[in-house]
């Protein structure tokens, strides 16, 4: 491909930032929904499970839209990366998609199902679990990178086997995502239900354990990356190590604040601190990767479309993302109130 002009390089960079924002927003927003779904697997009362689904009724669709938008940006701006990475991730993505669809259908149809509620609830919980796990596996597999096969006259593409996404690291990131997302779900349930509701109290009991397991998962992931990936280690332990120290301090601060908020029953604050921590770590990860999009395969610039145009860029950045952002924030604000389980069924 021809090299990009400097304006195009700047646009590719900005699109990359936008992509990161969308992915992070998706992880933060839908993460809490998915975690609540995983949590619902352990909730015995049918009405309480219903209440969990009802609590996200107005927002889950919009939260998921960030994933669609991220996919759109990837396809439009980094088509070479989209085409090869998605073939590489065939199995985890197909399974995650399957789960996402099952989850949507289970939620949409639960209130119409009467005899089959046990089934819709189980489908909801398991599909939340599967989405999270395979999403996490996909992230780990991308960090691992893949072998690109050059094709004469074509863009290099993925021609390896379907199973090469599997590595101890990618399986681990799958597990770690489940753990981290479960914590988000527990915090979400605490924040969304009236104090004193049994379901909120169950979530409160879970918090401590979920917190420590998630903490261990994060530490292990970071340490493992340092050992496994030269591109990460060389950045972290370089002369600019202080930058990474700042990220670390930021993350630790957010985690400590989250813990304090949970012990003081400030549930919304706890959830927000969780998100803050996740954002700090996400940004740190992107900064570590830079300029790679997929380590050793695609940089932001080698994977970008030769066709980046200022018009569509301005259109999207200037109007679309801000509007969508405002709308999503507004929606969450509208639905922020706490619920009681009696919202779980009509009467």
Partner 1 sequence: MSEAGLTTLISRIDFAWITTMHILYPPLTIGLSIILFLSEWRWNRTDDEKWYRLCRFFERLFIINFGAAVATGVTMEMAFGILFGRFSQAAGPLVGQLLGYETISAFMYEAGFLGLMVFGWGKINKRMHLFATFNVALASTISAWWILDANSWMQTPTGVVLKNGVFEVENWLAALLNPDSFVAFWHIEVASVELALCFVAAVSAWFLLKQRHVELFLKPLKIAVFSLLLIAPLQIFIGDSSGQLTAKHQPAALAAMEGHYRTRLPNGEPNTSWNVVAWPDADGHGNAWSIKIPHALSLLENHTWNSAVPGLDTIPAADRPPVVIPFYAFRAMSAVGTAVFLLALWGAWLAFRGRLSVAKVCANRWFLRAALLGVALPYLGIWTGWWTREVGRQPWVVYGLMRTADGVSHMSLTLAVSWLVGFMAFELMASGATFYFMTKVVRLGPDLDSPVVTDGPAHEARRLPRFAAMPDRPTPGGMAAFTQNHE
Q: Does 306 bind partner 1 (CB under 8 A)?
A: yes
Q: Does 296 bind partner 1 (CB under 8 A)?
A: no
* Shortest CB 38 distance to partner 1, Å: 17
Q: Does 343 bind partner 1 (CB under 8 A)?
A: yes
Q: Does 209 bind partner 1 (CB under 8 A)?
A: no
Stretch that binds partner 1, among 222-230, 238-246, 274-282, 301-309 (CB under 8 A): 301-309
Give dist(CA 255, CA 239) in Å, integer.
26
Q: Does 302 bind partner 1 (CB under 8 A)?
A: no
**In which residue are the tokens 């979920």 written?**
210
Q: Does 182 bind ligand HEM (CB under 6 A)?
A: no
Q: Does 68 bind ligand HEM (CB under 6 A)?
A: yes
Q: Taking Cα atoms as reference points, which of 25, 217, 271, 37 lies closest to residue 131?
A: 37
Q: Does 301 bind partner 1 (CB under 8 A)?
A: no
Q: Taking Cα atoms as reference points, which of 128, 147, 209, 142 lies closest to residue 173?
A: 142
If the CB atoms of residues 127 and 225 are measured against ligand HEM, the closer one turns out to be 127
Partner interacting with residue 272 (select from ligand HEM, partner 1, none; CB below 5-8 Å by kind): none
- Residue 217 CB contacts under 8 Å (≥ 6 apart), including other chains: 175, 176, 179, 180
Task: Pick out residues in 71-110 that bind partner 1 (CB under 8 A).
Answer: 71-80, 82-87, 89-91, 93-94, 97-98, 100-102, 104-105, 107-110
Give dist(CA 18, CA 65) in Å, integer.
14
Contact criterion met (CB below 8 Å) for 168 and 194:
no
Pick one of 65, 127, 132, 302: the residue that binds ligand HEM (CB under 6 A). Answer: 65
- Give the CA radius of gyration of the chain: 21
Is residue 73 helix, strand or coil?
A: helix
CA distances from 153 to 133, 150, 156 (A): 37, 9, 9
Q: Does 61 bind partner 1 (CB under 8 A)?
A: yes
* Shortest CB 63 distance to ligand HEM, Å: 11
Provide the binding-site residues for ligand HEM, judged by CB under 6 A. 65, 68
């Amino acid at each position: 491909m021809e090299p990009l002009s400097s304006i195009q390089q700047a646009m590719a960079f900005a699109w990359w930032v936008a992509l990161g924002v969308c992915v992070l927003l998706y992880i933060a927003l839908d993460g809490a929904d998915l975690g609540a779904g995983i949590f619902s697997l352990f909730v015995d009362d049918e009405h309480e499970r219903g209440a969990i689904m009802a609590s996200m009724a107005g927002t889950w669709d919009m939260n998921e839209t960030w994933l669609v938008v991220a996919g759109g940006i990837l396809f439009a701006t980094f088509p070479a990366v989209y085409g090869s990475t998605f073939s590489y991730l065939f199995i985890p993505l197909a399974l995650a998609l399957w789960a996402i669809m099952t989850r949507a259908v289970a939620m949409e149809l639960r209130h119409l199902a009467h005899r089959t509620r046990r089934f819709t609830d189980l489908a909801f919980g398991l599909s939340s679990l599967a989405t999270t796990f395979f999403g996490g596996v996909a992230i780990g597999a991308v960090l691992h990178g893949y072998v690109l096969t050059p094709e004469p006259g074509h863009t290099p593409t993925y021609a390896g086997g379907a199973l090469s996404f599997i590595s101890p690291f990618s399986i681990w990131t799958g597990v770690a995502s489940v753990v981290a997302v479960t914590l988000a779900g527990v915090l979400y349930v605490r924040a969304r239900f009236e104090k004193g509701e049994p379901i909120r109290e169950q979530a409160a009991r879970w918090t401590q354990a979920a917190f420590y397991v998630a903490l261990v998962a994060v530490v292990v992931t970071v340490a493992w990356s340092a050992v496994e990936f030269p591109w990460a280690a060389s950045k972290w332990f370089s002369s600019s190590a202080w930058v990474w120290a700042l990220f670390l301090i930021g993350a630790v601060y957010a985690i400590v604040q989250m813990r304090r908020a949970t012990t003081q029953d400030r549930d919304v604050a706890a959830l927000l601190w969780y998100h803050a921590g996740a954002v700090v770590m996400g940004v740190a990860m992107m900064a570590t990767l830079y300029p790679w999009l997929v380590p050793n395969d695609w940089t932001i610039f080698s994977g970008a479309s030769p066709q980046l145009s200022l018009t569509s860029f301005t259109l999207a950045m200037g109007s679309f993302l801000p509007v969508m952002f405002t709308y999503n924030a507004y929606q969450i604000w509208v639905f922020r109130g706490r619920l009681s389980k009696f919202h779980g069924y009509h009467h």
